[in-house]
Chains A and B, each alone.
Chain A
């Protein structure tokens, strides 16, 4: 699986996320309150809304359209109207850059 250079660690505030588009796909990259980075699919599994406009609360991302919630560490759907888990991707940090492993 290729590792893709997505952004600088300083591009994302703690407890926030950004959108990252690559090869026709869209991803969401998160900076958790404890300083770790995570990546998920960029669109909500409910109705394809970009999660990048949503709200990060601890380890939860809330969709900006219908307030569905996921745990972005595992992709687990936590609150209706989302029922389908988000796809997650491995991340690593090297030399101040965040890489994600895309399939």
Chain B
């Protein structure tokens, strides 16, 4: 049994580089070029429609919540606002960060900055963090976005449903970034030319939170924080619920997204909040395909993928026992059956990355 070291400056990451696992060439399902070009085509309209709905609902819910504050009858409205603020912002950060949500560059950038602020991520740092996540998906010591480490700390995962570990980690990081720029681990994936931007973004965020807290103190009311800041906690549950399913219980240290990512069929409301990232194998295999084209891409390549989980509940029923088993057997992972039409999984590097030989 191995003991994984997730530090970006640690021995596992160094070994991944030495054996050629880092920045390796990953498995892709064959898709004819003309078909792939059609999937990749950009359009502004789907994302404009979804963004108008999202921000429109947020303004409506916040207005109702403020107008009737502090009535307990506003609790459902705040919960709905919170999910849009603290969970939909995760998927907007993600898609706009890839630059695939909109065809128009400034629209992607505008939504990316707003979403980054709401989800409490430094927009400059996390752009690079996510690039590394796509280069070295779930490669220990290389991927800075591994949500479920092994053995999992289930208590921490549960606290994430109300955003406690993330917000607790974000506040000192924001202050550090505002004072001295990226932290040492961030400097492993953020190029030096971007460090001034990291500082600028952190200072802007710090100023907005300071103003919000000052307003709350002046009003002697928590209401300003119910609108800005706290919804990152009371509305986080949906993005944690969907985010854990992306890779939880599956393989690490492989170069085949069919082994380390999960596609789950979800209800339309969750798909709106999550912006179709439930098609997660497809997204990782072809990250230049916009969210609105992922269902069509899924239909085109599902013959080469493990069967999707039919619902969120079914996916948790598959994942949670695997996470529990990893508490005792760190190297355990789920390997789903492939259909007969699929090409075999690629397990290159897996044993070597763990410091093992194939015979062990």
Question: Shortest 5 CB-CB distances between A and B: which pairs?
Answer: A81-B131, A55-B40, A66-B131, A67-B99, A67-B98
Complex contacts, A64 vs chain B, CB 8 Å: 286-288
Nearest-neighbor residue (CB-CB) of B127 within chain A: A80
Indicate which residue in B23, B33, B193 contacts A48 across the interface (CB closer than 8 Å). Answer: B23
Complex contacts, B42 vs chain A, CB 8 Å: 55, 57
Given contact pairs A16-B37, A81-B131, A55 touches B288 in the complex (Cβ within 8 A): yes
Nearest-neighbor residue (CB-CB) of B41 within chain A: A55
Complex contacts, B134 vs chain A, CB 8 Å: 65-66
Q: Is B208 an interface residue (CB 8 A)?
A: no
Residues of B within 8 A of A (CB): 23, 33, 36-37, 40-42, 98-100, 103, 105, 127-128, 131, 134-135, 191, 193-194, 286-288
Indicate which residue in B105, B191, B288 contacts A83 across the interface (CB closer than 8 Å). Answer: B191
Minimum distance in angstroms from A79 CB to a CB of chain B: 6
Nearest-neighbor residue (CB-CB) of A63 within chain B: B288
Nearest-neighbor residue (CB-CB) of B99 within chain A: A67
Given contact pairs A54-B288, A55-B37, A57-B42, A47 touches B98 in the complex (Cβ within 8 A): no
CB proximity to B under 8 Å, residues A39-73? 46-48, 53-55, 57, 62-67, 69
Given contact pairs A47-B135, A55-B40, A62 touches B127 in the complex (Cβ within 8 A): no
Measured CA separation A46–B287 after assembly (Å)? 16
Complex contacts, A53 vs chain B, CB 8 Å: 36
Minimum distance in angstroms from B233 CB to a CB of chain A: 29
Measured CA separation A3–B41 after assembly (Å)? 34
Selected A-B contacts with CB under 8 Å, 9 pairs: A46-B131, A55-B40, A64-B286, A64-B288, A65-B287, A66-B135, A66-B287, A80-B128, A81-B127
Minimum distance in angstroms from A59 CB to a CB of chain B: 13
Residues of A within 8 A of B (CB): 16, 46-48, 53-55, 57, 62-67, 69, 79-81, 83
Minimum distance in angstroms from A76 CB to a CB of chain B: 14
Measured CA separation A57–B42 after assembly (Å)? 9
Complex contacts, B98 vs chain A, CB 8 Å: 67
CB distance A69 to B131 under 8 Å? no
Indicate which residue in A16, A47, A79 contacts B105 across the interface (CB closer than 8 Å). Answer: A79
Measured CA separation A65–B194 after assembly (Å)? 20
* Residue from A57, A62, A79, A81 having most chain B Cβ neighbours under 10 A: A81
CB distance B100 to A67 under 8 Å? yes
Nearest-neighbor residue (CB-CB) of B100 within chain A: A67
Complex contacts, B288 vs chain A, CB 8 Å: 54-55, 62-64, 67
Apart from A63-B288, A79-B99, A83-B193, what 20 extra A-B contacts exist at CB < 8 Å?
A16-B33, A16-B37, A46-B131, A47-B135, A55-B41, A57-B42, A64-B286, A64-B287, A64-B288, A65-B134, A65-B135, A66-B135, A66-B287, A67-B98, A67-B99, A67-B287, A67-B288, A80-B128, A81-B128, A81-B131
Complex contacts, B194 vs chain A, CB 8 Å: 80
* Residue from B36, B127, B288 having most chain A Cβ neighbours under 10 A: B288
Complex contacts, B191 vs chain A, CB 8 Å: 83
Measured CA separation A46–B134 after assembly (Å)? 13
Complex contacts, A63 vs chain B, CB 8 Å: 288
Nearest-neighbor residue (CB-CB) of A62 within chain B: B288
Minimum distance in angstroms from B121 CB to a CB of chain A: 15
Minimum distance in angstroms from B103 CB to a CB of chain A: 8
Complex contacts, A65 vs chain B, CB 8 Å: 134-135, 287
Minimum distance in angstroms from A30 CB to a CB of chain B: 14
Minimum distance in angstroms from B54 CB to a CB of chain A: 22
